[in-house]
Amino acid sequence: MPEPTSEPTAEQRLAALEIRVAELEQRARAADPADSAETAYTEQFFALEALKGRVPEDGAVVFAGVVRVQGSPEPVQWQYGKSVDEIENLDWSAMAGNLDALGHPVRLSLLHAVWSGVGTVAELKEREEFGTSGQIYHHINLLVAAGWLVTRKRGHYVIPAERVVPLLVVLTAARG
């Protein structure tokens, strides 16, 4: 009497099918490089693709970010956008102070130090590149006036959450 053959279980048949489907999909992607290039484009420019569906006729600019900030349990999430028409109608010269505050190497280095967790003038003074206490306060006061720094507790400076993403955007844009 012949031995009974064991039939594969439903789970085994499903696993085998999943392997075959994955192989077929991989072959299909390899056979159609245009499709994989389109997928790569969509993945790389996901924000741009989402914006295209919502943009006004004259165009728009949006920047956003999700950033983990030292000492904060939750990441900073921030988004801002304006239509090109709104941007064109702004008084561009009114933004000079905010940009000027970032336009000095010592102030950028101070912001980087604060970003890295150095938050008091005493700590900043330990670094020779920042100069004297008076020079440090001069630069900090300009950054505070422009909103790039705030005092969280007496003598302790931080980059406010609402300015984290804009600062990183400006730095990224300046890099080119």
Distance from C-alpha of 26 to C-alpha of 167, rounded to nearest angstrom: 42
Full-model pTM: 0.70
Taking CB atoms within 8 Å and a gap of at least 24, the contacts of 121-128 are 121/155, 122/155
Q: What is the CATH number of the domain that holds 115?
A: 1.10.10.10
157 in any annotated domain: yes
15 in any annotated domain: yes
| Containing structural domain, residue 55 | 50-175
What is the count of structural domains for the chain? 2
Same domain for 144 and 104 = yes
Distance from C-alpha of 115 to C-alpha of 61, rounded to nearest angstrom: 26
111 in any annotated domain: yes
121 in any annotated domain: yes
**Could you report the per-residue pLDDT of 63-76, keeping only the tens digit for each?**
999 999 887 889 99
31-35, 75-79, 88-92, 127-131, range with the lowest pLDDT: 31-35
Same domain for 96 and 29 = no
Tell me the percentage of the chain whose pLDDT exceeds 70. 90
Residue 51 binned pLDDT confidence (cut-offs 50, 70, 90): confident
**Could you report the per-residue pLDDT of 99-143, keeping only the tens digit for each?**
999 999 999 999 999 999 998 999 999 998 999 999 999 999 999
